[in-house]
Amino acid sequence: MDSLALLCTGALIAGGIYWFVCILGPAEQKGKRAVDLSGGSISAEKVQDNYKQYWSFFRRPKEIETAEKVPDFVDTFYNLVTDIYEWGWGQSFHFSPSIPGKSHLEATRLHEEMAVDLINVKPGDRILDVGCGVGGPMRSIAAHSRAKVVGITINDYQVSRARMHNKKAGLDSLCEVVQGNFLEMPFPENSFDGAYSIEATCHAPKLEEVYAEIFRVLKPGSLYVSYEWVTTDKYESSDPEHVEVIQGIERGDALPGLRNYADIAETARKVGFEVVKEKDLAKPPAQPWWTRLKMGRIAYWRNHIVVTILSALGIAPKGTVDVHEMLFKTADYLTKGGDTGIFTPMHMILCRKPEKKTEETSNS
């Protein structure tokens, strides 16, 4: 009897650990398991060193202003965080307003579908996803619109993940993923019927450069929509608490510097776009986008325990715990940014490439 009780107890403990790590741990879409966490394209023994290098970037502020260093910096960041994002958040690396009666997954999908609805594409049109990540938005948008979506991401590991997910979802005929820098895209002029970016162009050292590239590859008359990370009219640069929150968001999300909401339309016009519409999608009556972060605190501690155990056992690379802790601290800054209203991750701008360049634009 004692042996049987011991056996049953052991089985319960083993089952509990399996449930805790492999069932409870993964994100809503079950895209990644905790035991498969990695450093992306970075070898396991170099994850911790690359994490230290990432933070050293912020100890040399002048390098943040050096545009040629930013792509490698952003690439390192996404090697470090992609698996953790996918495991703990899902395949769409962005926020969306909460919708009463809808899950986070459903609210995210609707937020993505709105982007493609805004650019008025038809089935079979060829559209561009600027900064596609592992392709969560791409798949929602392709399934919703039946347009052919071409995504570009600087991170090679994300390319392989996105292609795998596209095939698994049966959408690889509509979804193509390209590795490249969105500041120098490998596409000819006038080759897309529309374009969108969802919380991605914030990684550009100069917004003008990425907007100019998008303008170049769009066909005349086509529309482009972007959800931008910006500081709002409530942000006061003279307020130390405001500054701390914004800098915390920048450090934890590989941003060379957050822009003010007022700069977005001006930049779009500067490169030749006509601004059709501009709106902060986070403003009321929209429900707070940061509630998911607040509600996720218990999940964070659960995940952090899992990551710590896996790292101690040598299953997850050294440095994974540091990266996970960094992301939790960043979540706190993002929550404060939302609570105070000084930051929004969804300042929407809808632009059109003119049918014909104006004389002023042509001569500029």
182-213 tens-digit pLDDT: 999 999 999 999 999 999 999 999 999 999 99
Please say if the pLDDT value at position 320 is more than 60: yes
pLDDT score at 362: 46
Tokens of 283: 């403003």
Weakest mean pLDDT among 66-75, 130-139, 154-163, 279-288 = 66-75
> What would the two tokens of residue 324 be?
């996970």
**β-bridge mates for residue 338, sequence order:** none
Phi-psi label, residue 75: left if phi above 0, alpha if psi -120 to 50, beta otherwise: alpha
Asked if pLDDT for residue 21 goes beyond 80, the answer is no
Contact 261, 233 (CB under 8 A): yes
CB neighbours of 58 closer than 8 A, spacing ≥ 6? Answer: 64, 251
**Residue linked to tokens 């449930």:** 19
CA dist., res. 112 & res. 153, Å (int): 17
Task: Please classify residue 114 by burial: count the beta carbons closer than 10 Å to its beta carbon, then call 0-12 exposed, 13-18 middle and 19+ buried.
Answer: middle
Q: Which helix (H) or strand (E) holds 318?
A: none
Helix (H) or strand (E) holding 52: helix 47-58
In the chain, what is the greatest distance between 2 CA atoms, to the nearest angstrom?
A: 91
Average pLDDT over residues 329-346: 96
The encoded tokens of residue 289 equal: 């986008």
Asked if residue 6 has pLDDT above 90, the reply is no
- Long-range (24+ apart) CB contacts under 8 A made by 310-315 are 310/21, 310/34, 310/35, 310/37, 315/35, 315/37
Determine the 3-state secondary structure of 353 from DSSP: coil
How much is the pLDDT for 13?
A: 59
Strands 343-352, 274-280: pairing is antiparallel
Length reported for the chain: 364
Tokens of 190: 């006038």
Distances (CA, A) of 110 to 32, 104, 140, 348: 23, 10, 9, 15
For helices 70-88 and 156-168, give the axis angle rounded to 10 degrees: 40
AA identity, residue 159: V
Residue type, 1: M
The residue that leads in pLDDT, 15 or 166, is 166
Calculate what percentage of the chain has a pLDDT beyond 90.
70
Segment 138-156 shows an average pLDDT of 98
Between CA 181 and CA 192 the distance in angstroms is: 17
Average pLDDT over residues 149-154: 98
Helix (H) or strand (E) holding 169: none
Q: What radius of gyration do the chain's Cα atoms show?
A: 21
Peptide bond into 256 cis (omega under 30): no
Q: How many CA atoms lie within 13 A of 299 on its CB side?
A: 18
State pTM to two decimals. 0.89
What is the DSSP secondary structure assignment for residue 258, as one 8-state letter? P
Dump pLDDT digits (tens) for 229-259.
999 999 999 999 999 999 999 999 999 889 9
Q: Which helix (H) or strand (E) holds 34?
A: none
